[in-house]
């Protein structure tokens, strides 16, 4: 289990426990998101606090899950490390995802 998941109503928070989010672990991330969707989650937050390294496969898995949830709220990223942010910036993904958010409160609201 490289991803912890908490679900409350339609809110799901997925937290990668590994510090690398790469081609090896990206398929399991997709599976975890699909699992959350099957459990009726429409608002999915990924808590990136443990992730120190992301590659293009990790990015790609986040993009594909964001597309999957586009009719709902998409994927929200919180607690994104500075080095990981740099990769989002390099690929212009910082225009798609708000990378300045911290953990959601009990109601699922994200604080900047």
Partner 1 sequence: MTIKTEPAKSEPSHQKLLTIDSELSQVKIAAKAVRKISNSLSFKSVDSGQIELALVESVTNCIEHSYGYQSGNLIDIEYKISDVELEVSVIDDGPPAPKLTSKLASETDAISQLNLTELNIDSLPDSGWGVMLIKSLCDNVTYSRGNNRNILTLIFALSPRSKESHTQEA
Among 63, 73, 101, 110, binds partner 1 (CB under 8 A): 63
Residue 56 binds partner 1 (CB under 8 A): yes
Residues paired with 43 in a beta bridge: 11
Contact 112, 100 (CB under 8 A): yes
Closer Cβ to partner 1, 19 or 40, answer by number = 19
Residue 55 binds partner 1 (CB under 8 A): yes
Least distance (Å) from partner 1 to the CB of residue 18?
10
Q: Which two structure tokens, joined as six digits, stand for 29?
A: 């991330």
Least distance (Å) from partner 1 to the CB of residue 95?
4
Whole-angstrom distance, CA of residue 109 vs CA of residue 65 = 20
Q: What values do phi and psi take at 53, rounded to 5?
A: -145, 135
């Amino acid at each position: 289990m490289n991803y912890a998941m908490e679900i409350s109503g339609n809110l799901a928070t997925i937290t990668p426990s590994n510090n690398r989010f790469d081609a090896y672990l990206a398929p399991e991330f997709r599976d975890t998101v699909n699992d959350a969707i099957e459990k009726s989650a429409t608002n999915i937050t990924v808590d990136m606090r443990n992730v120190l390294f992301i590659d293009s496969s990790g990015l790609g898995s986040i993009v594909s899950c964001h597309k999957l949830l586009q009719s709902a709220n998409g994927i929200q990223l919180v607690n994104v490390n500075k080095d990981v942010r740099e990769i989002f910036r390099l690929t212009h993904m910082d225009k798609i995802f708000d990378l300045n958010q911290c953990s959601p409160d009990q109601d699922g609201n994200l604080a900047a």
